[in-house]
Structure 1
Amino acid sequence: MDNGSAGQAEEGGAWAGPAGAEAFAAVEAATDWLLGYPFVFEALSRRLGADELLVDYGCGPGRVADRAARVLGARVVGVDTSAEMLAIARSTATAVAEFHLVRDGRVTGLPDECADAVMCNHVPASLPTEEALLGVFAEIRRLLRPGAPFVLLTTDPDCTELEYTSLRVGAPGVSYRLGEEMPLRLLRTDGSWQEVRNHAWPVDRLPILLESARFREVSQRRPTVDEASALADPALVGRHPWTAERAAPPLVITSALAS
Structure 2
Amino acid sequence: MSAGEGRAWSGQEGAEAFAAVEAATDWLLGYPFVFRALAGARQEGGVLLDFGCGPGRVADRAARVLGMRVIGVDASPDMLALAKEAGTPGAEYHLVEGGRVAALQDACADAAMCNHVMASLPHERTVLEVFTEIHRLLRPGAPFALLTTDPACAGIEYASLRVGEPGVTYAPGDPMPVRLRRTDGTWQSVRNHAWPVEGFPALLARVGFTGVTQHHPTPEEAVGVADPEHVRGRDWSAERLRPPLVVTAAVKG
Length-normalised TM-score, structure 1: 0.95
- Name which of 238, 245, 252 aligns with 1:251: 245
CA distance in 2, matches of 1:139, 1:208: 16
SS at match of 1:46: helix
1:1-259 to 2 correspondences below 5 Å: 4-6=1-3, 8-9=4-5, 13-95=7-89, 97-259=91-253
- Counterpart of 1:94, as a letter, is T
CA distance in 2, matches of 1:160, 1:50: 41
Kindly indicate whether the alpha-carbon contact (under 8 Å) linking 2:100 and 2:133 is maintained by their aligned counterparts in 1: yes
Q: Among the aligned pairs, what percent are the same residue?
A: 62
- Counterpart of 1:193, as a letter, is W
CA distance in 2, matches of 1:44, 1:13: 26
CA distance in 1, matches of 2:156, 2:15: 28
User: How far apart are residue 210 of structure 1 and its match?
Assistant: 0.2
- Counterpart of 1:51, as a letter, is G
Structure 2 unaligned blocks of 5 or more: none
User: How far apart are residue 107 of structure 1 and its match?
Assistant: 1.0
Show CA shifts across 1:164-190 (max 9, x none). 000001000111111100001000001
- Counterpart of 2:201, as a letter, is P
Show CA shifts across 1:98-139 (max 9, x none). 111111111131101111111000111111111110011000
CA distance in 1, matches of 2:83, 2:91: 11
CA distance in 1, matches of 2:115, 2:204: 15
Show CA shifts across 1:191-250 (max 9, x none). 110111111111100000000011001011110101101111111111111000001000
Aligned-residue CA RMSD (Å): 1.0
Q: How many residues align?
A: 253
Show CA shifts across 1:135-179 (max 9, x none). 110000110111111110000011014210000010001111111
CA distance in 1, matches of 2:97, 2:87: 22
Distance 1:213 1:75, change over 3 A: same
- Counterpart of 2:49, as a letter, is V
- Counterpart of 1:253, as a letter, is V
User: How far apart are residue 96 of structure 1 and its match?
Assistant: 5.0
Q: Which runs of 4+ in 1 moved over 6 A?
A: none
- Counterpart of 1:35, as a letter, is L
Length-normalised TM-score, structure 2: 0.97
Kindly indicate whether the alpha-carbon contact (under 8 Å) linking 2:42 and 2:67 is maintained by their aligned counterparts in 1: no
- Counterpart of 2:136, as a letter, is R
Kindly indicate whether the alpha-carbon contact (under 8 Å) linking 1:215 and 1:256 is maintained by their aligned counterparts in 2: yes
